[in-house]
């Protein structure tokens, strides 16, 4: 047939076939090129996937989390279950360690190599110093894959500045922060109303008028025990001294890191700085922090003395801390200075009264921050005011391990439970028997709502606190403080005698510290600083 | 000499059996006791830091520590009052029980004086702490009899705290001391009583010249035990006042404990211990001298 065609037809057919062949061949070539690209991309993807799979391979392993609080076991078990639902090959066991002497218990566990992988604790630095736990700095810079906050770094999910403030002197963060304690004044709303108090006191002077009104109404304004078993009257001194001696910090903290600058308005500016025993001793000898010579040291004592008339002065030398609490719970006193940790027992007690039909004992309570002292009370507040007492209460530390997989699980679990949504869930959990929250402290994770009523106890750090001079410098000084404080508040010794006794006790304590911390003390530096001083 | 050695060898098993007990006593009692004399001359924190400071601890204690001097005074008061309480009440009770005619009643009273010894002393102390509280039994009793103006914060006021501690345990019946006296009464020869009756002695003269003179060795023993106990024991004070308020109930024993275990000043605590030992030894020697003169 092909041969029977005419010349033109044969030529046309030839070109058509040729075109088709070329087209097919070209197409095949093109396909062939595409195929090779796909194969190449596929192999690259496969390589990346393999790498990723290695990174994000389903985690498998077993870790133990130990807590020191009984009330946290349920929350942690819930967190462990939630985590295990996401990671089927991981097993997390939650255990409780003894609260009393838990530090000693942990030391023995570390020494016998039986320590759990994740430890919920109130302090971690001593275990970092002994190299038993890992530094968390690098991990906190990583993203938290469980967080919905949108933050780039895990550490940014926490309330500022607690991650940074929890660093040890070497700059290492040793604990993933979990909760903050706050301290405020619990008050009996009924007794306040009865005394005609409609506004809560914000300043010290307002606080004094509230005390007077309560006293006139026939109740004890403020229940305290004047003993170390109830440090209510010492807590205000801690925060007041930090504020009144703030301007002295640059004069007291003389041996600083290179280029250090103190910024009273920036709480982080004191990070990593510590006042050593030799610096304190020199400051004392110069009279900067000597209660007998320094107004900044003496004024907080004078201010607190004004409140003694509104305390249960009849028996505050005889009763213990627990008795002071009972006076508030029984409605004998209108105020109590206590922390977030006290909330569950107060709620439980009031619920007990209600359940027992003792409705006359049930009262509504509220909490307000400790009143601010102002320039009307002291002229030493030249750099900011008084920060509320509070701070980091607890967190999680991770054991130093050879097994990288366990470390990875431990860190991943901590990222999971500190993700805002999981933390919020855990903080909201309530005990089905009492109906109260397991955790009454304030979360360190941003966005977790505090328990209703505790909003005012949020420990705001507005100013840098380094406490140039404090109430006491060792245990003996602390014991002596209580004897002197008791005598001063009960008018058995004068202000002058009290300050002289404090001065003597402080100096003796500082001298003892020079011996105790002999290795860190630079005697030549002390002599140089005190040269020419009488 | 040779016979003595032979005798020891003959009973060597007994001597060998004593060794473990004395070894343990040495480790836990004698070495710490004697080392306290040595450590009292050091500034020692109980661990690494130990610096020889000669008599400094003693001179500070006696010349520069008004709290310690005050605690010595408090201890003196406690020792004196406890001595009167311990000897007096036990002697009175033993004398009364001894003169009960019914043997069954005597037996009953003997049981009664000793039975409260089964109650741990800490329970008694805590009970008294409760009695002394602001709304405790003591103040309630005072209010009930119209003496509410005398109600006080017994343990919280430095004017009343020491008195409250001395009153603790009223009526201060010491069962063991009473039994010691009762046992001594049984040793008095009935013929002496008979002779006294014939001579027509009064009850007081019988007690003074017949009974008490026979009970002097027991009185000396009880006095020594009471003095040592009063100087050494501080648990009650620790629980009730912890030495306060304002050091008004602080005693050297409690100070020793605080310096050793709270302030880690073991050298200073050892010096307090040495001074306490010297005081106990002196009082015991005085007692012995009194006994020798008798």
> Residue A62 is encoded by which pair of tokens?
């077993």
Identify the pLDDT of residue A511: 94
pLDDT (tens digit per residue) in B54-113: 999 999 999 999 999 999 999 999 999 999 999 999 999 999 999 998 999 999 999 999
Cα pseudo-dihedral A472, A473, A476, A479, rounded to 10: 20
Please enumerate in sequence order all residues whose Cβ is within 8 A of that of B56, keeping only pairs 6 or more positions apart, or say none.
B43
Smallest Cβ–Cβ distance between A476 and the set B49, B133, B263 belongs to B263
- Whether residues A492 and B246 touch (CB distance < 8 A) is answered with yes
Smallest Cβ–Cβ distance between B153 and the set A317, A474, A483 belongs to A317
Identify the pLDDT of residue B23: 93
Q: Which of A245, A249, A251, A247 is nearest to A299 (CA)?
A: A245
Burial class (CB in 10 A: 0-12, 13-18, 19+), A426: buried
* Distance separating alpha carbons of residues A397 and B149, to the nearest angstrom: 58
- Whether residues A486 and B45 touch (CB distance < 8 A) is answered with no
Sign of CA dihedral A194, A197, A199, A205: negative
Contact of A467 with B227, CB cutoff 8 Å: no
* Distance separating alpha carbons of residues A473 and A275, to the nearest angstrom: 12
Q: Which of A483, A508, A534, A501 is nearest to A291 (CA)?
A: A501
Q: Which of B228, B277, B230, B222 is nearest to B251 (CA)?
A: B230
Report helix, strand or coil for A410: helix
Smallest Cβ–Cβ distance between A483 and the set B134, B247, B263 belongs to B247
> Residue A409 is encoded by which pair of tokens?
């699980």
Classify residue B29 by its DSSP letter.
Answer: I
Search chain A and give the residue with CA nearest B135: A315
- A534 contacts chain B (CB < 8 A): no
* Distance separating alpha carbons of residues A226 and A489, to the nearest angstrom: 9
- A519 contacts chain B (CB < 8 A): no
* Distance separating alpha carbons of residues B60 and A509, to the nearest angstrom: 16
Q: Which of B131, B122, B172, B168 is nearest to B153 (CA)?
A: B131
Sign of CA dihedral B235, B240, B244, B249: negative
> Residue B137 is encoded by which pair of tokens?
């039994």
Query: What is the C-alpha R_g of chain B?
Result: 24
> Residue A304 is encoded by which pair of tokens?
């607190």
If contacts are CB pairs under 8 Å, which of residues 26-55 in chain B contact chain A? 43, 45, 49
Identify the pLDDT of residue A19: 46
Search chain A and give the residue with CA nearest B132: A318
- A474 contacts chain B (CB < 8 A): yes
Q: Would you place residue B293 in the very low, low, confident or very high pLDDT band (cuts 50, 70, 90)?
A: low
- A133 contacts chain B (CB < 8 A): no
Classify residue A429 by its DSSP letter.
Answer: -
**Full pLDDT tens readout for chain A, 534 residues:** 444 455 555 555 455 544 444 444 444 444 434 444 444 444 444 444 444 544 556 789 999 999 988 888 999 999 999 999 999 999 999 999 988 888 888 988 988 889 999 999 988 877 887 889 999 999 999 999 999 998 889 999 998 777 877 777 677 899 999 998 889 999 999 999 999 999 999 999 999 999 999 999 999 999 998 887 788 999 999 999 999 999 999 999 998 888 888 999 998 888 778 888 999 999 999 999 999 999 999 999 999 999 999 998 777 777 788 888 999 999 999 999 999 888 888 988 999 999 999 999 999 999 999 999 999 999 999 999 999 988 888 999 999 999 999 999 999 999 999 999 999 999 999 988 888 888 888 899 998 988 887 877 877 788 999 889 999 999 899 999 999 999 999 899 999 999 999 999 999 999 999 988 888 889 999 999 999 776
Report helix, strand or coil for B157: coil
Strand partners of residue A430? A437
Sign of CA dihedral B260, B264, B268, B271: positive
Identify the pLDDT of residue A32: 39
Q: Which of A159, A36, A194 is nearest to A443 (CA)?
A: A159
Helical (H) or strand (E) element with A144? none
Classify residue A445 by its DSSP letter.
Answer: B
More confident position, B133 or A79: A79
* Distance separating alpha carbons of residues A84 and A77, to the nearest angstrom: 10
CA A139 to chain centre: 18
Helical (H) or strand (E) element with B33? helix B31-39
- Whether residues B244 and A486 touch (CB distance < 8 A) is answered with yes
Strand partners of residue A67? A96
Give the minimum alpha-carbon distance from A318 to chain B in angstroms, rounded to a whole number.
Answer: 4
Contact of A237 with A301, CB cutoff 8 Å: yes
Identify the pLDDT of residue A222: 95
* Distance separating alpha carbons of residues A3 and A155, to the nearest angstrom: 86
Residue A521 neighbours by CB distance under 10 Å: 18
Strand partners of residue A50? none
Contact of A483 with A504, CB cutoff 8 Å: no
Q: Which of A222, A128, A134 is nearest to A168 (CA)?
A: A128
Q: Which of A124, A178, A167 is nearest to A400 (CA)?
A: A124
Residue A101 neighbours by CB distance under 10 Å: 10
* Distance separating alpha carbons of residues A28 and A47, to the nearest angstrom: 28
Smallest Cβ–Cβ distance between A483 and the set B134, B246, B258 belongs to B246
- Whether residues A316 and B244 touch (CB distance < 8 A) is answered with no
* Distance separating alpha carbons of residues B198 and B191, to the nearest angstrom: 10
Q: Which of A163, A168, A162 is nearest to A140 (CA)?
A: A163
- Whether residues B153 and A474 touch (CB distance < 8 A) is answered with no
pTM comes to 0.79
Sign of CA dihedral B155, B160, B161, B164: negative
Cα–Cα distance list, B234 to B40, B253, B258 (Å): 21, 6, 11
Contact of A82 with A419, CB cutoff 8 Å: no
Identify the pLDDT of residue A519: 81
* Distance separating alpha carbons of residues B104 and B110, to the nearest angstrom: 10
* Distance separating alpha carbons of residues A454 and A74, to the nearest angstrom: 22
* Distance separating alpha carbons of residues B188 and B203, to the nearest angstrom: 16
Give contacts of A515 with chain B, Cβ < 8 Å: 43, 49
Helical (H) or strand (E) element with B21? helix B12-25
- Whether residues B263 and A316 touch (CB distance < 8 A) is answered with no
Contact of A329 with A349, CB cutoff 8 Å: yes
Rounded to an integer, the average pLDDT of B14-29 is: 92
> Residue B142 is encoded by which pair of tokens?
């005072």
Report helix, strand or coil for B268: helix
Identify the pLDDT of residue A20: 46
**What is the per-residue DSSP string for A156-205?**
GGBPTTHHHHT--TTS---SEEEEEEEEEEEEEHHHHHHTT--S---BHH
* Distance separating alpha carbons of residues A133 and A129, to the nearest angstrom: 9
* Distance separating alpha carbons of residues A132 and A115, to the nearest angstrom: 9
Identify the pLDDT of residue A125: 79
Search chain B and give the residue with CA nearest A315: B153
């Amino acid at each position: 047939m092909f041969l029977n065609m005419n010349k033109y037809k044969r030529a046309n057919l030839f070109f058509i076939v040729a075109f088709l062949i070329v087209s097919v061949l070209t197409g095949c070539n093109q396909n062939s090129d595409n195929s090779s690209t796909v194969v190449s991309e596929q192999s690259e993807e496969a390589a990346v996937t393999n790498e990723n799979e290695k990174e994000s391979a389903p985690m498998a392993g077993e870790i133990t989390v130990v807590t020191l609080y009984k009330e946290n076991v349920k929350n942690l078990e819930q967190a462990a279950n939630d985590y295990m639902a996401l990671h089927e090959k991981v097993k997390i066991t939650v255990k409780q360690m003894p609260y009393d002497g838990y530090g000693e218990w942990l030391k023995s566990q570390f020494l016998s190599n039986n320590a759990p992988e994740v430890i919920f604790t109130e302090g971690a630095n001593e275990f970092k110093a002994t190299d038993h736990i890992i530094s968390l700095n690098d991990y906190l810079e990583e993203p938290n894959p469980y967080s919905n906050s949108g933050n780039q770094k895990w550490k940014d999910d926490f309330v500022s500045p607690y991650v940074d403030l929890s660093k040890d002197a070497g700059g290492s963060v040793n604990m993933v922060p979990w909760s903050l304690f706050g301290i405020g004044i619990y008050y009996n709303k009924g007794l306040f109303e009865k005394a005609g108090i409609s506004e809560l006191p914000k300043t010290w002077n307002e606080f004094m008028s509230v005390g007077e009104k309560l006293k006139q109404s026939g109740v004890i304004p403020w229940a305290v025990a004047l003993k170390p078993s109830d440090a209510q009257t010492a807590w205000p001194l801690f925060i007041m001294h930090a504020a009144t001696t703030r301007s002295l910090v640059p004069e007291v903290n003389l041996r600083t890191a290179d280029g250090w600058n103190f910024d009273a308005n920036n709480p982080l500016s004191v990070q990593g700085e510590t006042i050593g025993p030799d610096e304190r001793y020199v400051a004392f000898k110069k009279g900067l922090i000597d209660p007998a010579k320094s107004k900044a040291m003496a004024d907080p004592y004078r201010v607190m003395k004004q409140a003694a008339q509104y305390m249960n002065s009849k028996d505050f030398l005889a009763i213990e801390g627990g008795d002071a609490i009972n006076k508030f719970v029984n409605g004998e006193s209108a105020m109590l200075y206590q922390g977030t940790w006290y909330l569950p027992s107060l709620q439980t007690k009031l619920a007990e009264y209600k359940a027992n039909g003792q409705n006359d004992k049930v009262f509504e309570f509220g909490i307000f921050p400790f009143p601010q002292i102002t320039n009307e009370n002291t002229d030493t507040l030249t750099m900011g005011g008084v920060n509320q007492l509070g701070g980091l209460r607890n967190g999680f530390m991770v054991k130093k391990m050879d097994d990288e997989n366990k470390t990875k699980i431990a860190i991943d679990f901590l990222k999971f439970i500190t993700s805002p949504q999981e933390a919020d869930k855990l903080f909201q959990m309530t005990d089905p028997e009492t109906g109260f929250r397991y955790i009454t402290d304030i979360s360190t994770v941003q966005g977790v709502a505090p328990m209703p009523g505790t909003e005012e106890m949020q420990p705001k750090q507005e100013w840098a606190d380094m406490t140039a001079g404090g109430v006491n410098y060792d245990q003996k000084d602390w014991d002596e403080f209580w004897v002197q404080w008791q005598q001063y508040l009960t008018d058995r010794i004068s202000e002058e005698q009290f300050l002289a006794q404090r001065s003597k006790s402080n100096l003796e304590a500082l001298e003892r510290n020079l011996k105790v911390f002999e290795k860190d003390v630079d005697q030549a530096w002390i002599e140089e600083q005190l040269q020419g001083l009488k | 000499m040779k016979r003595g050695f032979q005798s020891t060898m003959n009973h060597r098993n007994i001597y060998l059996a004593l060794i473990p007990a004395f070894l343990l006593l040495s480790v836990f009692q004698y070495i710490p006791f004697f080392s306290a004399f040595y450590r009292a001359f050091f500034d020692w924190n109980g661990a690494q830091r130990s610096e020889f400071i000669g008599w400094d601890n003693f001179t500070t204690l006696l010349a520069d520590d008004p709290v310690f001097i005050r605690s010595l005074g408090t201890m003196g008061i406690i020792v004196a009052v406890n001595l009167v309480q311990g000897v007096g009440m036990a002697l009175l009770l033993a004398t009364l029980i001894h003169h009960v005619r019914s043997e069954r009643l005597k037996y009953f009273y003997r049981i009664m004086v000793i039975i409260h010894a089964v109650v741990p002393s800490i329970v008694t102390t805590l009970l008294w702490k409760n009695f002394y509280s602001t709304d405790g039994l003591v103040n309630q009793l005072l209010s009930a009899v119209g003496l509410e103006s005398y109600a006080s914060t017994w343990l919280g006021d430095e004017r009343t705290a020491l008195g409250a501690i001395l009153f603790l345990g009223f009526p201060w019946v010491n069962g063991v001391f009473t039994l010691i006296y009762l046992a001594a009464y049984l040793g008095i020869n009935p013929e002496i009583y008979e002779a006294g009756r014939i001579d027509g002695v009064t009850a007081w003269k019988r007690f003074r010249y017949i009974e008490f003179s026979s009970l002097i060795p027991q009185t000396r023993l009880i006095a020594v035990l009471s003095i040592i106990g009063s100087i050494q024991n501080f648990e009650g004070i620790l629980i009730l006042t912890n030495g306060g308020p304002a050091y008004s109930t602080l005693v050297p024993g409690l100070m020793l404990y605080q310096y050793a275990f709270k302030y880690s000043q073991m050298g200073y605590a050892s010096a307090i211990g040495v001074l306490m030992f010297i005081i106990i030894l002196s009082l015991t020697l005085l007692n012995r001298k009194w006994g020798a003169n008798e």
